[in-house]
Amino acid sequence: MADGTVLVPPRILELRQNILKKNDLLARDLRQRFAEAGVYVLNLVSGPGAGKTRLLQRTLTELAPEFHMATLVGDLATQNDARRLQESGTTVRQIETGTLCHLEAEMVASYVQDWNLAEIDLLFIENVGNLVCPSSYDLGEDGRVVLFSTTDGEDKPLKYPTLINSADLAIISKLDLAEAAEFDHAAMHRALREMRPDIKILELSAKTGEGLEAWYSHLRSSIEAKKEASHVSGNPR
Ligand SMILES: Nc1nc2c(ncn2[C@@H]2O[C@H](COP(=O)(O)OP(=O)(O)OP(=O)(O)O)[C@@H](O)[C@H]2O)c(=O)[nH]1
Ligand SMILES: [Mg+2]
């Protein structure tokens, strides 16, 4: 239309609403299972190449002495990310989505089906690299982390409001490249806070290790809180 409005035919809209409703119901069941098992679940979302896998590679390796961790990683094709993450010695499964640009609760449920969730402290779900589709799909996670790299441009939070609105934590990655990319830290923080005034922001480099301690502290306290909640609700592990 001349004013830029896109009209969606009612039948397509209805179909989309049904898919989302089915996903929400499955996500609710998953969240219940995760809560009973006391496993803390994080869904990592970013555009392609922002550094999700590299951050997880380092996190899985460095926190392995402290926690039992597992990862599901989604991509349209290849087992590349799973191979990289398996070098940490932790449990990793690749979900190849084919043509889908996001993970859905049904996929998560089927890929964790034979896992003993009570043995896992922390489950990472690396979503398909995409800033649009993953934001509408609840995976039963406790927290959603959005990554923007210093080379992505400071205006990205403003361009992808749905994603920011569904995120609990924003990670600014590739801090070591900030100077070369002439990254404007204040502008990025402003853009994030304009969309979500209370969003927690961490800046880090998975290459140099700068900022990783704050990320690990966040994980430690979140895991602790989840275990506490699980005990309180009568699910001793
Ligand atoms: N210099 C630098 N490079 C990084 C950093 N983190 C990731 N990279 C590089 O950026 C590229 C993409 O990183 P990945 O970890 O594969 O990104 P991703 O978000 O998992 O990508 P997809 O799964 O394809 O969406 C790789 O070449 C990484 O080595 C960092 O902190 N500093
Ligand atoms: Mg990846």
pLDDT value for 49: 98
What domain range includes position 76? Answer: 32-232
Atom 27, ligand 1: residue with shortest CA distance: 49
Q: What is the pLDDT of residue 7?
A: 72
CA distance 119 to 208: 31
Output the pLDDT for position 5: 67
Within a 10 A sphere around the Cβ of 147, how many other Cβ atoms? 24
In a domain, 237, yes or no: no
Tell me the C-alpha to C-alpha distance, in Å, between residue 156 and each of 141, 143, 147.
23, 20, 10
15, part of any domain: no
Asked, for residue 11, whether it belongs to a domain, the answer is no
All residues at 6 or more sequence positions from 215 whose CB lies less than 8 Å from its CB, including other chains: 55, 59, 171, 202, 204
Note the pLDDT of residue 235: 61
Residue 185: per-residue pLDDT: 98
pLDDT of residue 10: 72
Domain contains 112: yes
Q: Please indicate, yes or no, if residue 90 is contained in any of the structural domains.
A: yes
Q: Which residue has the tokens 């190849």?
A: 96
Q: Please check whether residue 93 lies inside any domain of the structure.
A: yes
Q: Find out whether the beta carbon of 50 lies less than 6 Å from any atom of ligand 1.
A: yes
Among 46, 52, 54, 87, the mutation site with the greatest number of ligand 1 atoms within 8 A of its Cβ is 54
DSSP 3-state assignment of 40?
strand
Domains in the chain, number:
1
Q: Which residues of the chain have pLDDT under 70?
A: 1-6, 8, 12-13, 16, 232-237
Which CATH number do you get for residue 101? 3.40.50.300
In a domain, 107, yes or no: yes
Structure tokens at 148: 């923007």
Q: What confidence score (pLDDT) does residue 51 get?
A: 98
Exposure on the CB side of residue 222, measured as CA atoms within 13 A: 21
> What H or E segment, with its residue span, contains residue 133?
none
Q: Residue 61 in 3-state DSSP?
A: helix
Q: Residue 17 domain-assigned?
A: no
Q: Which two tokens stand for residue 26?
A: 């499955």
